[in-house]
Structure 1
Amino acid sequence: MNLGIVSLILLLVAIVVGFARNVNVGILCIGFAMVLTLLYGDTITAKQVIEGFGTSLFIQMVGVTYLFAIINGNGTLELMARKIVNLVPARAIPLVMFFIGMALSAAGPGSIPCLAIIPVIAIPISVSAGINPIMTAIIGDMGAMAGRMSPLTPEAAVVRGLMEEQGMDGNTVPIMLCTMMVTVICALLVYVYYKGWTVDRSAASGEKEQLPKFTWQQWLSLLGLVVLAFGVLVLSWNVGLTGFLIGTILVILGCGNEKKAVAGVPWNVILMVLGVGMLMNILSLSGGIDIMVSALESIMGPKSAAPIMALTAGIMSFFSSGLGVVFPTLVPICGGLASGIGADGVYLVAMAVIGGTIAGYTPISTTGALIMAGVSQQKDAETRFPQNKLFIELFAVSFINLAVLAVTALIGIYGLIV
């Protein structure tokens, strides 16, 4: 049997077994990857499997969670969250996080660094307010996605160049407006699913009361957060390496305990994310993605082109980077494809961009990984937010987002903008 098909089957088996038996899906995937090297040794080697280990994602996840384990350990996050909750009504927090994410992303840095920062802000605030932290992190990240195609962002620069090479108008504002439309719809669905209007008063710890002042260690920790945000958003520093640097400085200055911080890193979540990524790398190398994409493109027509392009981009983004793979692969074919089947080229570009963006909530993506990591650091997380259940929910969010995009594209609602 084709290696791509077998690896896809094993991925599904790992997810099902992990959920049913409550074992780490990532470790299962690493084991299955080894099985594939034994069965298909002439096609995939152990060296190639190991190369699929996401080193960059590992550094990013560990660096950020290490820093926030330090800051959380000295009480900074809890006190800051309580102070913010005192100012913002609990039910308004998801809305506020959506607009914060959108404003930060659209201002210039784009969605990639914002997707790393939003969850670590939204999750502790939500826990203190007694609302679902998963919901708030997802909605906040949807805001960051909504601002991704602002003309100021590097993502927009890439798409603009690819469009102009085909003779299209490189204006990405219509694409940004389309993205905003679908993210608002999806955010509302997430809000309804998690019953965002409900507030768990027994879990809330941020009642309006006279709160203590920050200690000097907490002020330094807050300064560290500011430096992290400025360095990542403005200076384009690597968020993981920056987290390690700031965390190291805080430990040296006596603002945290290194051993407790290392113990606070969610290693089980990291193994889950990176292990699944290794198996998916085999799927990519074996041509499994090409098989799925070719099947979808072969049934395109004038009316079905937009939803199929959206689904194709979304499926590809399950296995690869939207900016690094999906956009450069699909956007260049939109002009010729549109001419051949009688569709609108900019419309197809919008579908490729949005599909490659909103499907990024899977746990193997940076967005989903950081949400899982942030939630796992909360008190009683294993009981309140079981990892395997959250793993499935994040995949479900990606699929539902794609379904919303495909249906609205089929209706033609984006034609009002593009």
Structure 2
Amino acid sequence: MNALRILSLIFLFTAIVLGFLRKTNVGVLCIGFAMILTLLFKGQVKASDVVAGFSTSLFIQMSGVMFLFAIVNGNGTLELLAKKIVNLVPARLIPLVMFIIGMGLSAAGPGSIPCLAIIPVIAIPISVFAGIDPIMTAIIGDMGAMAGRMSPLTPEAAVIRNLMEEQGMVGDTVPIMLCTALTCVITAILVYIYYKGWKVERLSSAGEKEKLPSFSWKQWLSLAGLIILAIGVLFLRWNVGLTGFLIGGILIVVRCGEEKKAIDGVPWSVIIMVLGVGMLMNIVKLSGGLDLLVTALESVMGPKSAAPIMSLTAGIMSFFSSGLGVVFPTLVPLCGQLATGLGADGVLLVAMVVIGGTIAGYTPISTTGALIMAGIAQQENAEERFPQNRMFIELFLVSFMNIAVLAIMSITGIYSLFV
């Protein structure tokens, strides 16, 4: 099993490097490497284990949302809406506006998970027509959604409260929310600086006031569909992918879009990349490869290093798994015992797990990163202007940068001001 866990990690890193250097779909490479593992380790790795790593829920979520937005984009609704918003808001303020919208929606009750699916598909077309980097705006908008996820109103906060109370800790997530929001603000500023957000490209109508036509009946229906999607997902807890297919199907039936054009507009290569990596990652997790990384960090944990190491551990786990579904339930229950044994602050350790499991989720194999890539891939000349492999690396770099910021802030004791 040791050989399997080590080789699975090597294959994962090799696929990422080869994908970048050879401009090959990383997901396809990961599926191939997973198949090799089934041949090398018969009895330990089965083909069914590889197939089990194919996330049907993520497939439905991505394809459903992208199908709907391919329709809305194809009939000109997004373009016209983006231009109207650009006419109202200065281009340089759009990332700030998206951050505020993301945080407000998330903190109001739905939490970050549905907001992370909504924000990129709104931010990306707006940014393209405003002449600013759409990757930057989508990242910053999603950071806003992450900043509000520990509001006492959200389901994520309810999960953390229960996990804390089970250990005899006070289940108050407000200090954790403040720590998370501060981290997201700082990382958003760094992203803005990295992408030089103050620069505005002079595209066809970027930054210019222009007289725009009114929405047609098809576009009004499309906007109504987007509003229904937002309300259903954010407040009624509808499945975003299934809702996207439902609304998209209705729009096709009433002739608001073309089915073939919509299907062609779904970025299938991005979906294959994300789900393919997930299939190899399932072998990494089953073999204990992920545990190997986590154990290596935990073995060097001490009283002063407990907070930064917990943040790193949560961040690395979040690269490949759900923060809410995997990282939080796995690591938060350890915080009380670690705090007692090491003499550390238990709430601070919980905050590190929450923040690490949140802001590291920009990797392309996470839902957040995947939706950003998918949204970018739908733009005109996307492969030339925003190559997939470059985005793949950039989103990983953003995740590493976020974890580095978190570690520095935890070492310097900044979070102690709020906890």
Write out aligned runs for 1:156-167 (5 A): 156-167=157-168
- In structure 2, the partner of 1:96 is 97
Distance 1:265 1:202 in 2: 25
**1:262 aligned counterpart, secondary structure:** helix
- In structure 2, the partner of 1:154 is 155
**2:249 aligned counterpart, secondary structure:** helix
1:64 paired with 2:65, answer: yes
The one-letter amino acid paired with 1:90 is A
CA-CA distance at 1:13 after TM superposition: 0.8
- In structure 1, the partner of 2:110 is 109
The one-letter amino acid paired with 2:362 is Y
- In structure 2, the partner of 1:396 is 397
Distance 1:245 1:361 in 2: 28
Distance 2:78 2:208 in 1: 16
- In structure 1, the partner of 2:388 is 387
The one-letter amino acid paired with 1:180 is A
Is contact 1:119–1:374 with CA below 8 Å preserved after alignment? yes
Distance 2:389 2:8 in 1: 20
1:39 paired with 2:40, answer: yes
The one-letter amino acid paired with 1:246 is I
Is contact 1:228–1:242 with CA below 8 Å preserved after alignment? yes
Is contact 2:91–2:207 with CA below 8 Å preserved after alignment? no
**2:335 aligned counterpart, secondary structure:** helix
Tell me the alpha carbon deviations over residues 30-58 of structure 1, each in whole angstroms, 9 at most, x when there is no partner: 00000000001111100110011011000
Tell me the alpha carbon deviations over residues 18-77 of structure 1, each in whole angstroms, 9 at most, x when there is no partner: 111111110011000000000011111001100110110000000000000000000000
CA-CA distance at 1:381 after TM superposition: 0.4
Distance 2:348 2:111 in 1: 21
The one-letter amino acid paired with 2:289 is G
Write out aligned runs for 1:13-412 (5 A): 13-202=14-203, 204-205=205-206, 207-412=208-413
Number of aligned residues: 418
**1:237 aligned counterpart, secondary structure:** coil
Tell me the alpha carbon deviations over residues 253-287 of structure 1, each in whole angstroms, 9 at most, x when there is no partner: 11000000000000111111100111111101101
Range 282-291 or range 136-145, more displaced? 282-291
Distance 1:100 1:204 in 2: 24
- In structure 1, the partner of 2:417 is 416
Distance 1:88 1:319 in 2: 36
CA-CA distance at 1:205 after TM superposition: 4.2
Is contact 2:359–2:399 with CA below 8 Å preserved after alignment? yes
Distance 2:331 2:205 in 1: 46
Range 204-213 or range 132-141, more displaced? 204-213
The one-letter amino acid paired with 2:392 is F
**1:63 aligned counterpart, secondary structure:** helix
Distance 1:39 1:303 in 2: 43
**Structure 1: gaps spanning 5 or more residues:** none
The one-letter amino acid paired with 1:40 is F
Structure-2 change in CA distance of 1:21 and 1:203 (3 Å): farther
Distance 1:218 1:288 in 2: 49
Is contact 2:90–2:207 with CA below 8 Å preserved after alignment? no
Distance 2:42 2:373 in 1: 34
Give every structure 1 segment of 4 or more consecutive aligned residues whose post-TM-superposition deviation is greater than 6 Å. Answer: none
The one-letter amino acid paired with 1:49 is V
Distance 1:204 1:321 in 2: 39
CA-CA distance at 1:302 after TM superposition: 1.1
CA-CA distance at 1:207 after TM superposition: 2.2
**1:134 aligned counterpart, secondary structure:** helix
Distance 2:345 2:3 in 1: 36
The one-letter amino acid paired with 1:364 is I
Structure-2 change in CA distance of 1:180 and 1:203 (3 Å): farther
**1:207 aligned counterpart, secondary structure:** coil
Is contact 2:307–2:348 with CA below 8 Å preserved after alignment? yes
Is contact 1:160–1:170 with CA below 8 Å preserved after alignment? yes
The one-letter amino acid paired with 1:142 is M
Is contact 2:129–2:203 with CA below 8 Å preserved after alignment? no
CA-CA distance at 1:293 after TM superposition: 1.2
Distance 2:415 2:109 in 1: 24
Distance 1:288 1:183 in 2: 29
Is contact 2:144–2:184 with CA below 8 Å preserved after alignment? yes
What's the TM-score once normalised by structure 2's chain length?
0.99
CA-CA distance at 1:202 after TM superposition: 2.8
Tell me the alpha carbon deviations over residues 322-341 of structure 1, each in whole angstroms, 9 at most, x when there is no partner: 10111111111101101101
Tell me the alpha carbon deviations over residues 110-160 of structure 1, each in whole angstroms, 9 at most, x when there is no partner: 000000000000000000000000000000000000000000000000000
Distance 2:327 2:77 in 1: 39
CA RMSD of aligned residues (A): 0.8
Is contact 2:362–2:398 with CA below 8 Å preserved after alignment? yes
Distance 1:56 1:229 in 2: 19
